[in-house]
Amino acid sequence: MKILYLILLIVVVSCTTTGEEQSRAYVEGKVLTNLPATNVKIQLESKNIIISETILNSDKTFTLSGPIPGEDFSLKSNFKIKSFTGRSDLKITEDSLSIEFPKGANYENALELKLVK
């Protein structure tokens, strides 16, 4: 009987959390480009860790989601981002290959990207 209580105690203690919930990112959108859909790769990244990665659907749409190990994340493309429509607090990086999502901006369901070679 003591062994059963000991096992139960170990299970209960190991299942406790620190109270810090890991945030999730969710981004869906469409790409406007003359490039073939299968050539465009889109990914979410946080703290130099790839969270999610995809190629475009045949209609040039995409959906990405995953846990964010840091406070913010970025959407990266293998082609330069000329412009985008979406949240006003997002910004294109200097190299034009990423869009930065600030802390708390974890959800975007109407992102439209214009990509160039």
10 falls within a domain:
no
CATH number at 69 reads 2.60.40.10
| Angstrom distances, CA of residue 76 to CA of 3, 7, 9 | 52, 46, 45
Contact between 98 and 106 under an 8 Å Cβ cutoff? The reply is: no
3 falls within a domain:
no
Q: Where in the sequence is the domain holding 103, given as residue range(s)?
A: 19-116
57 falls within a domain:
yes
Please write the tens of the pLDDT for every residue from 68-101: 998 899 999 999 999 999 989 999 999 999 999 9
Residue located via tokens 């105690």: 9
Q: How many domains does the chain have?
A: 1
Please write the tens of the pLDDT for every residue from 4-24: 555 655 665 555 445 456 789
Q: How confident is the model at residue 113 (pLDDT cuts 50, 70, 90)?
A: very high
Q: What is the pLDDT of residue 110?
A: 92
Mean pLDDT for the chain overall: 88
Q: What is the pLDDT of residue 19?
A: 45
